[in-house]
Structure 1
């Protein structure tokens, strides 16, 4: 039967007809679906990815910890007590047989080995150290601006030892140093990816939109950089940093190095998107309407695949964090007194760490959790941004 002779059944006004919903419900559903923005649709698909949704909250919690590291840390990154070098972790208890309900840790009994002259620690179950919340401790400057001395958790007597995750070779609290180190390691990932984003969109956009000689030149540069083995390139660029530079200068230098290496992948992805979009009808319409080339690029083309760019950036942040950690671990990145996860792992290079102080490997656990959570988030965003899923 031809389409002209076909009759399309309409639902009854009362909604009792089984052929479909009422016109009011149909219009409401159409309005709800028709007004949903691209980001709303991406968010709906992302929430259905349970693992990625949980990982997102883990990543947000990690960055929240990074922002308030000074308050959350039981001590500061530089406070040390050589008498408690390599002190083992103290277990946190919530009930004392004689004192009742309350937080406390047991004190140490410290003896010196007559052969190695190293301190040996034993948990003294007869002595306990009361622990409280928002207690006074080592002074610090919140975000480098506000002098404070309040810590979320710590001993009520600041002169008593408190090492929930043990101490390093200088008697510094490992938990506090890991929290402070998160600020450097995670910020390098964000800053490095932001620079890579600018370079990738700018050069990739020029390459994909204009084509011709600019495309050829940019692609040859990308191929040259991608042909160089990553680790030797890192080593060469890091070795070029003068040893006299301070921690802040080395921080920016490492970030620049990672950004120079990391923009090539983003540029190629942007170029591919531009090549596929420049022949679309809405780009042709914008061109005929008299829009300038920068407006076409940044107002019409880039927003159309912005969700894909964000997903790619999320996947790139863990790579930046691992790159900084690798360079610092090898002694070619950040150096003490700077505190990052890679710098902290330098103490885990000798056999004594594995035998007698395994808690110095905890920065590696922090890196593992952070990178794994970010990879899950990036995988979920990539699936949610794919319009064919």
Structure 2
């Protein structure tokens, strides 16, 4: 006769009671949408890593003066096309002990081709240190004068090219760091301006409809129908040649903003058309709220997470646009330093053959920033999706 036994739950895994399940559900319901979005975002490991990289890049941009070993226009005419130097852990035997060193460089010039070649001079070590004097002063965050830089040789006159030098002996690492400030700021400022334009026009078209919607949609279609690259070139060529580099910088930022608002405007319009028929929007209008208040207090907050994700994905497009214009010679010009300007300076065959680091280093910066921003945008988009599942 077989015994009929009732399965008992193990001690380590007690089933959740109905009251506990109800409390958990209530706890999730009480959380704000931002908390739920952050919990979903943390599960996207690649997006979290990308966020760390982007924050690091913007920190580099803010503190570029202190992080760059040299000023971006500092010439070392004795070291054109100097190759990247290695860092050595060496005891030079004169009481300095172990530390980080770079060696000086000996040059040889071919009598036939006039090509320079460099070799390390082991008899000429230069000790590296933290918070060293670079010889040329700058204003730290615009507050006070200093010549201290985070890392570099203790001798300000020592050759120091961790990522090589260009044809004028300018340090590529320093120029890429300063280029980070310009390229990332153009992307960020351009996206802010285009976001404001896109939200205003999209919300007006979706909420007012009628003739306003028709006019805004026709303007949007005109901008979207023109090929992007010719439109960039036409607008960039229209900038006056007499403008200073700073004026060109703001001009490029504005013209990129005038092109980048169309897709966001269409998306905002579609969302507003959906939300304007919701019960809480109708209740606000019946309560006497003005159109502007309904849009500002009830419709736009519902679009916040989507707008954040869209903006994050738009920043790399702005960076690539500036890089493309500068590479074609229609964007920023020296002495302004950006990633596009660095690529434009390295676009001849001789440079690629003799000094490939001039092309590789700024290209790597563009690729890293673009991929990180795209992965970050993907993570934010998934986290902002209320139907993505999981809390």
- With normalisation by structure 2, the TM-score equals 0.92
Q: Secondary structure at the match of 1:150?
A: strand
Q: How does 1:211-290 map to 2 (within 5 A)?
A: 211-290=209-288
RMSD of aligned Cα (Å): 1.8
Out of 107, 120, 125, the position equivalent to 2:104 is 107
Once the two structures are superposed, residues 349-379 of structure 1 have per-residue CA deviations (whole angstroms, 9 ceiling, x without a partner) of 1112211101101111001001000000000
Structure 1 SS opposite 2:99:
strand
Per the alignment, residue 379 of structure 1 pairs with: 378
Which ranges of structure 2 fall in alignment gaps of 5 or more residues?
A: 1-13
1:113 shift after superposition: 3.1
Q: Residue 12 of structure 1 aligns with which residue?
A: none
**1:284-299 equivalence runs, <5 A:** 284-299=282-297
Task: State the SS of the aligned residue for 1:127.
Answer: strand
Please state if 1:125 is matched with 2:122: yes
Equivalence for 1:21: 17
* Equivalent in the alignment of 2:307: 309
> Which residue, 22, 27, 32 being the options, matches 1:32?
27
Instruction: Report the CA distance between 1:140 and its aligned residue.
Output: 1.8
Q: Which among 59, 63, 66 is matched to residue 58 of structure 2?
A: 63
Q: Distance in 2 between matches of 1:208 and 1:133?
A: 56
Q: CA deviation at 1:180?
A: 0.5
Distance 1:22 1:274, change over 3 A: closer
* 2:365 matches 1:366: yes
TM-score (norm 1): 0.92
CA separation of 1:157/1:19 partners in 2, compared to 1, >3 Å: closer, same or farther?
closer
- CA drift of 1:124 comes to 1.7
Q: Supply the distance in 1 between the matched residues of 2:231 and 2:351 (Cα, whole angstroms).
A: 30
Match in the other structure for 2:72? 77
Q: 1:171 to 1:20 in 2, by over 3 A?
A: closer
> 5+ unaligned residues in a row in structure 1: which ranges?
1-17
Q: What is the distance in 2 between the residues matched to 1:46 and 1:359?
A: 36
Q: Out of 47, 53, 59, which is 2:48 matched to? A: 53
Q: Which residue of 1 aligns with 2:353?
A: 355
Of 118, 131, 136, which residue of structure 2 is paired with 1:134? 131
Q: Secondary structure at the match of 2:132?
A: strand
Tell me whether 1:151 sits opposite 2:149 in the alignment: yes
Contact 2:92–2:125 (CA under 8 A) maintained in structure 1? no
* SS of equivalent to 1:170: coil
Residues 303-323 of structure 1 show CA distances to partners (whole Å, capped at 9, x for unaligned) of 011000000000000000000
Deviation at 1:287, TM superposition (A): 1.0
What corresponds to 1:14 in structure 2?
A: none
Matches within 5 A, 1:172-191: 172-191=170-189
Distance 1:295 1:113 in 2: 75
2:83 matches 1:93: no
Q: 1:231 to 1:19 in 2, by over 3 A?
A: closer
Deviations 1:33-70 (A, max 9, x none): 12211111111111111111111111111111111111
Mapped partners of 2:45, 2:177: distance in 1: 28
1:314-333 maps to which residues of 2 (within 5 A)? 314-333=312-331
Deviates more, 1:307-316 or 1:113-122: 113-122
Residue 4 of structure 2 is matched in structure 1 by none
Q: Between Structure 1 and Structure 2, how many residues are aligned?
A: 373
Q: Is 1:76–1:140's contact at 8 Å kept on the other side of the alignment?
A: no
Q: Distance in 2 between matches of 1:231 and 1:19?
A: 61
In structure 2, the residue corresponding to 1:171 is in which secondary structure? coil
For residue 9 of structure 1, what is the aligned residue in structure 2? none
